[in-house]
Structure 1
Amino acid sequence: MIDISEIVAEVNTLKQQLDHAQLSYRDSNLKSRREIVILKRLITRLTIACRGIDNELDNTLQSITHDLEQPLEISRLIPRLAIVERLVTQQADVIQHQNNHLQQQINQRSHTLIQHQNLPMSLQQDLDHLVSQQPTTLLDNHQRIVRLLELYERSIKSLTATDNKNTLSNDNQPNFSVELVAELQQIITEIDFINDQGQQLFSIRNQLAQGVDQQTLLALLVQVLRLIVSGTHNERYASQRFLNTLNSDLASLQKNTAKTASSFSVLHQHRHDFNTGISTIVSNIDQQLTTPEGITASWENITYELQQLAQRNSQLEQREQALIEQLNHTDNKVQQLQQQTYSYRQRLSQQEQNIFRDKLTLTYNRSAFNDRIEHEYQRWLRYQNPLLLVLIDIDNFTQLNNDYGHHAGDKALKIIAQTISHQLNPTDFIARFNEDAFTLLLTDIDQQQCQQLMNNIQTAITQLPLHFKGQSISISVSICTSFFNHNDTPKNVIQRIETALRHSQIQRCNTVIHQ
């Protein structure tokens, strides 16, 4: 018999559990709503704070803000929140890099103003105070920029009031002229005009190497620009002429090919008719040779028909010979076009090599390096294969040029470039990074292989038998390596190894640093 009291007790227990579950659900629901409100508020403030920094970040935050207004599960937003986290981290690194660059530029411009001799003492003291500040945020640097502009305005007014004809730019004019000469020489080196413009540009480069005054430099600059424009027009005209000739020859070949195909079709039909005629004559001969009378009566007809067939066969042979000559002419034309196209392609390839090759060391130049590192960086982002950047700087290279001359420095650069290249695999990339440094891009290499390779390069360069002015010279290099990791970009990796290598060379040379 069922005990009613037990049933009542069990029902009460279930009721209590239900009430507890309802309370828990209510608390969880309220907590979830509060979290959604907090998340909405955070996303809204983050959207406002990050607005205008990055388009992808703006679009992602706006999309999340819109979705938060809809009834959906928060778990569905987790992938996009992860994207926001990655973008925010990247932007933080970018802002930090920009802040450092901005701080460096402010200090440099402040020092430029300080070095001017005609500024009032109070203004120089304000500039010294501006340089001595140690900003920690981007906002601090923005305030320093405003202050620097105020000081710059005061400097202009002060210089104008004293009627000083020496402007701030005059202090940097010699350096500017030197940099302009170097840039012009580099541009002329990368241009590959094989016409009169090329010879004139080569003469200008030799003239720049011997040294020119400012007025001559400006005149040569204008002349270089005119020669580049003129040479470009000539190159474009030559290309258009080549393409027009190629188009005309191809149209002629197409016409001749169509005519030859039509002639072959007609010739084929005539051959068919000729064979049909022979078959008819053979059939008539078989019929007429059955009796002696038929042989005598048809002999003249058979002879006449055979003569006609011989004439038709001769005409067919003449047509075949004409078609063969036409085909030979077409084949020669095609070979000429092939040769012209190959020569043109070889010239374009040579021009491309001249653009992306360093003339002295025959390694790739900085432009080629910029293109290659961007390509390898995109591959690294996609596949996450190891990507190593190496900077190799020649120790005391300026002293070598001063002691033994620039010819000795050029010879050393060539030999060192060859030595490094011999240590690399065919798929590795080497470029001249600046005057006395080379950079390497290596893929599919681990840390141990990297250390061994750098030691081999350093040892091989140290053991080079270099002789200048009857003296044996020992050259060493300092090396810095860094793998791409996490949120790295080509700019911050380059900056990282440059900074590390510069600090290392201050302490001692002939070192290898692994970042």
Structure 2
Amino acid sequence: MEKQINNSEHLIHQSGNTLLKIPGLPPKIKRELRDLLNFSEIHHETKTRQAFHLLNLYERAIKIFAVNPELKEKNIQLSVGQGLFNRLSDELQTLISELDFGGEAGDVLLDIRARLLTGVKPEQLLELTLEVFRLLIQGTAYERSHSEQYLKQINNSLANCLSSTNRNIEYHSQICQNRHSMHQEFSQLVQQSRTVLKETQDTNELKNEIASLINQFNELSKQYKASESDDQTYLETLEVTQNRIETSYEITQNFRHRLSDQAERALKDPLTKVYNRTALHHRLELEYHRWIRNKHPLRLALFDIDNFKSINRHFGYPAGDKALKIIARAIMKETSATDTVARISGEEFLMILPERKEQECYSLIQNIQHNIRSIPFKFKDKELKITVSSISVPFLDNESPDETLERLYQQLYKLKDQGPDKTVWQ
């Protein structure tokens, strides 16, 4: 749930800023959009309400452009350059890959991702972003409803346990009172017997007194025997209560496992099973603070799959997904327990390498590139050679994690002009 909220917040601001860049929007829509992006936190507006508000603005904008298609095409071409358009498309693909929805919503998201991989027009990108918003809201509502159902089950089960326990307490209290009364009667009969034996001199009178006492003992014995059935009933009610407690425990354990699975999935890329961006930033902060304290070596390494879009274009996105999985496994095979591997975009993997010597890091990167280069990829009966380019930078004094990442990406932009299977080392 937390992961979905973070994704929705990111997507709200990204999509809102994209809409703002489109000229031709009425001033009223622009004002509402700026208020939505700048003042929602101040007004304590929920992410769901923000999303619905943004959906409404998108729908109004699309209706305006639908009235005048020529204006729409012109405005979108003016506002969204090819580089920005590609980044938005890639970002939406990455966000979709991080959403872990099942059922119909998951199928629709996969279909949207497939369309993005094969290429869409700018106006289609806006419509697909709008559809992702709708699915994100539906998926979040479904998760919330599912959680509410679990909680309702637990609540009902605990209520049954409480009811059974209260009945058991009352029943046990009644049994104790009956037993106490019988013990009192038994003590009184014993005392009467002693008195009769001590004070009665006449034999016939003694016989009559003893006979009366025996009858009373017999009656008390019958009451005691009858109470044994109460004991059995009490044991049966305890078994019912135990079963209900066990049922409640199973429900809570299932819910606990489900939450645990969700928490784990929230940190993993669903496709490659390595960490996602959310987990990466968390790990990066931890390693950064360890580095500040201990001043041990700390380095980042980025692997960018060469010509990845051409794989999707010529062989289809299932082939691209297969390649991502294989490459992720190849990277993970070379890592140690202290290293962190994450998929941070469609074709980029980032490694955090703490406490490794420079030569050790360089050899690790070279080995990974060599191993991937040597993998015999085969798609549609065609042999394909896939390579990755790499960049590695160390953390520098007085530099934040964001500044280190920025320096890494600056090298990435330069790397793309140098051709495939290259290494940039700082």
Correspondence 1:326 to 2:234? no
Residue in structure 1 matched with residue 51 of structure 2 by the alignment: none
Task: State how far apart, in whole Å, the 1-side matches of 2:421 and 2:140 are.
Answer: 46
Task: Please list the CA deviations of residues 334-356 of structure 1 after superposition, one character each: whole Å capped at 9, or x if unmatched.
Answer: 23333333333344444444444
Correspondence 1:243 to 2:151? yes
Q: Please give the TM-score of this superposition, normalised by the length of structure 1.
A: 0.55
Contact in 2 for aligned 1:191/1:354 (Cα 8 Å):
no
Task: State how far apart, in whole Å, the 2-side matches of 1:403 and 1:214 are.
Answer: 22
Q: 1:412 aligns with which of 304, 313, 323?
A: 323
Contact in 1 for aligned 2:299/2:395 (Cα 8 Å):
yes
Task: Please list the CA deviations of residues 17-60 of structure 1 after superposition, one character each: whole Å capped at 9, or x if unmatched.
Answer: xxxxxxxxxxxxxxxxxxxxxxxxxxxxxxxxxxxxxxxxxxxx
**Closer/same/farther in 2, CA of residues 457 and 207 from structure 1, 3 Å limit:** closer
Give the 3-state SS of the residue equivalent to 1:430 in structure 2. strand
Task: Please list the CA deviations of residues 111-133 of structure 1 after superposition, one character each: whole Å capped at 9, or x if unmatched.
Answer: xxxxxxxxxxxxxxxxxxxxxxx
| Residue type at the aligned position of 1:390 | A
- Equivalent residues in 2 for 1:138-157, closer than 5 Å: none
Residue in structure 2 matched with residue 339 of structure 1 by the alignment: 250
| Residue type at the aligned position of 1:317 | E
**Closer/same/farther in 2, CA of residues 430 and 504 from structure 1, 3 Å limit:** same
Task: Please list the CA deviations of residues 81-136 of structure 1 after superposition, one character each: whole Å capped at 9, or x if unmatched.
Answer: xxxxxxxxxxxxxxxxxxxxxxxxxxxxxxxxxxxxxxxxxxxxxxxxxxxxxxxx
Q: Please give the TM-score of this superposition, normalised by the length of structure 2.
A: 0.65
Correspondence 1:254 to 2:166? no
Task: State how far apart, in whole Å, the 2-side matches of 1:182 and 1:512 are.
Answer: 23
Correspondence 1:359 to 2:270? yes
Correspondence 1:225 to 2:109? no
**Closer/same/farther in 2, CA of residues 507 and 453 from structure 1, 3 Å limit:** same
Task: Please list the CA deviations of residues 276-332 of structure 1 after superposition, one character each: whole Å capped at 9, or x if unmatched.
Answer: 655665666677679994873444334323333333324433333333233222222
Report the Cα offset of residue 430 of structure 1.
Answer: 1.0
Residue in structure 1 matched with residue 361 of structure 2 by the alignment: 450
Report the Cα offset of residue 490 of structure 1.
Answer: 0.9
Task: Please list the CA deviations of residues 213-245 of structure 1 after superposition, one character each: whole Å capped at 9, or x if unmatched.
Answer: 566655554444344334434443443454345
Correspondence 1:467 to 2:378? yes
Task: State how far apart, in whole Å, the 2-side matches of 1:452 and 1:208 are.
Answer: 36
Give the 3-state SS of the residue equivalent to 1:392 in structure 2. strand
Task: State how far apart, in whole Å, the 2-side matches of 1:321 and 1:445 are.
Answer: 69
Count of equivalent residues: 351
Percent of residue pairs identical: 32
Contact in 2 for aligned 1:390/1:440 (Cα 8 Å):
yes
Give the 3-state SS of the residue equivalent to 2:391 in structure 1. strand
Residue in structure 1 matched with residue 80 of structure 2 by the alignment: 172
**Closer/same/farther in 2, CA of residues 318 and 468 from structure 1, 3 Å limit:** same
- Equivalent residues in 2 for 1:419-434, closer than 5 Å: 419-434=330-345
Contact in 2 for aligned 1:394/1:475 (Cα 8 Å):
yes
Instruction: Between the two structures, name the one with larger relative contact order (CA 8 Å, sep ≥ 6).
Output: 2
Task: State how far apart, in whole Å, the 1-side matches of 2:257 and 2:188 are.
Answer: 60
**Closer/same/farther in 2, CA of residues 288 and 446 from structure 1, 3 Å limit:** farther
Task: State how far apart, in whole Å, the 1-side matches of 2:214 and 2:148 are.
Answer: 63
Task: State how far apart, in whole Å, the 2-side matches of 1:448 and 1:287 are.
Answer: 104
Task: State how far apart, in whole Å, the 2-side matches of 1:203 and 1:474 are.
Answer: 27
Q: Which runs of 5+ in 1 are unaligned?
A: 1-164
Task: State how far apart, in whole Å, the 2-side matches of 1:212 and 1:326 are.
Answer: 66
Report the Cα offset of residue 492 of structure 1.
Answer: 1.9
Task: State how far apart, in whole Å, the 1-side matches of 2:337 and 2:347 are.
Answer: 23
Report the Cα offset of residue 418 of structure 1.
Answer: 0.6
**Closer/same/farther in 2, CA of residues 316 and 459 from structure 1, 3 Å limit:** farther
Stretches (4+) displaced over 6 A: 286-292
Residue in structure 2 matched with residue 391 of structure 1 by the alignment: 302
Q: Which runs of 5+ in 2 are unaligned?
A: 1-72
Give the 3-state SS of the residue equivalent to 1:434 in structure 2. coil
Contact in 2 for aligned 1:478/1:501 (Cα 8 Å):
no
Residue in structure 1 matched with residue 288 of structure 2 by the alignment: 377
Give the 3-state SS of the residue equivalent to 2:172 in structure 1. helix
- Equivalent residues in 2 for 1:108-127, closer than 5 Å: none
Task: State how far apart, in whole Å, the 1-side matches of 2:413 and 2:95 are.
Answer: 28
Residue in structure 2 matched with residue 479 of structure 1 by the alignment: 390
- Equivalent residues in 2 for 1:191-230, closer than 5 Å: 191-194=99-102, 197-198=105-106, 200-201=108-109, 204-205=112-113, 218-230=126-138
Task: State how far apart, in whole Å, the 1-side matches of 2:348 and 2:92 are.
Answer: 21
| Residue type at the aligned position of 2:137 | V
Task: State how far apart, in whole Å, the 1-side matches of 2:405 and 2:187 are.
Answer: 86
Q: 2:279 aligns with which of 362, 368, 375?
A: 368
Give the 3-state SS of the residue equivalent to 2:301 in structure 1. strand
Q: 1:311 aligns with which of 222, 226, 238?
A: 222
Task: State how far apart, in whole Å, the 1-side matches of 2:238 and 2:306 are.
Answer: 66
Contact in 2 for aligned 1:461/1:476 (Cα 8 Å):
yes
Contact in 1 for aligned 2:272/2:325 (Cα 8 Å):
yes
Give the 3-state SS of the residue equivalent to 2:300 in structure 1. strand
**Closer/same/farther in 2, CA of residues 372 and 183 from structure 1, 3 Å limit:** same
Task: Please list the CA deviations of residues 136-194 of structure 1 after superposition, one character each: whole Å capped at 9, or x if unmatched.
Answer: xxxxxxxxxxxxxxxxxxxxxxxxxxxxx956852636666655555444444444444
Contact in 1 for aligned 2:372/2:388 (Cα 8 Å):
yes
Give the 3-state SS of the residue equivalent to 1:441 in structure 2. strand
**Closer/same/farther in 2, CA of residues 341 and 199 from structure 1, 3 Å limit:** farther
Give the 3-state SS of the residue equivalent to 1:239 in structure 2. helix
Contact in 1 for aligned 2:339/2:353 (Cα 8 Å):
yes
- Which one has the largest radius of gyration? 1
CA-based RMSD of the aligned residues comes to 4.1
Report the Cα offset of residue 358 of structure 1.
Answer: 2.4
Task: State how far apart, in whole Å, the 2-side matches of 1:209 and 1:301 are.
Answer: 100
Give the 3-state SS of the residue equivalent to 2:304 in structure 1. strand
